[in-house]
Structure 1
């Protein structure tokens, strides 16, 4: 597998860049279509969406650096040398949540109301983004010959990114269903479960 989907001379487009752009566009289109469903100014929802992209990326990088600080001892310049292998999902989530909280406080909105528009775009981004490491040749499933197996690196294997995508598609479905039930707000439960199950799937099948 090659991390570049397109190369022309010194210019290359990585799978990470391509899938990130696709995720960002899909998320923005969703925000544009659904922002009328929320009792929040459209500009606040859209501006916060772009803020989340920036702070999420920043948090992902800072999270990775903190957890792997020994790598950067004596070579702090490399901290700003960014690539998708050196990003941390939980750092991105933490910074994203903090960003929404800060905006909610400044705009005098309830946190749970402001974060609601971004839950499904997050799941969409995860369902798409999990394919990056597979296409780069890093997310290699264990050998397996049953249903949904895929020939990869010289053997039939678990197609782990498919399992992960199914997880987040299921989270989208559950989120939509629970929103239709008056008086029910299980978004946090669905979110936490999906984030807990995500690494478990990777651990079991790779």
Structure 2
């Protein structure tokens, strides 16, 4: 069974061109979306994936109607292969159900694996470079209670800039403000407790 998918980016555009082309191609059911291809949640696309069965073929007017990025397209094509659903693109004359078209699935699969390998290699290279500079990765170590008290005291004295305090203690500005907020909250709690006992 041929199942069509049409998408336009805005309400100003018209689906008629794609709809007519998909109908002429023999699609018995057509699913539609009116939103950008970069949007992850496309109701029409989701309903189509629930509708198709093994042996069906999804037909699109052009590949960019199915996806706006190569990565997303690779993911979609890989997903189609897993559920034994073919893909035809009318403008690109792509048909993964033909004997030569089956090669497309393997090419997309190889591209996906290539991308995963690149990401792993870049991550490892980044970690090795960080270790060489003395960083071990992960979240920075938390300050001891004494260091936190020092941070609060330095800030309260107003003799140093926030940037200078952060450099001295090896922490970021958000981390310093987190310690200051925690100190203020504990002081308020202590004051409230003292007031309650008076």
Shorter-chain TM-score category?
under 0.3
Highest CA radius of gyration, 1 or 2?
2
TM-score by length of 2: 0.27
Q: Relative contact order (alpha carbons < 8 A, sep ≥ 6): 1 or 2 greater?
A: 1
Structure with more helix by fraction:
1
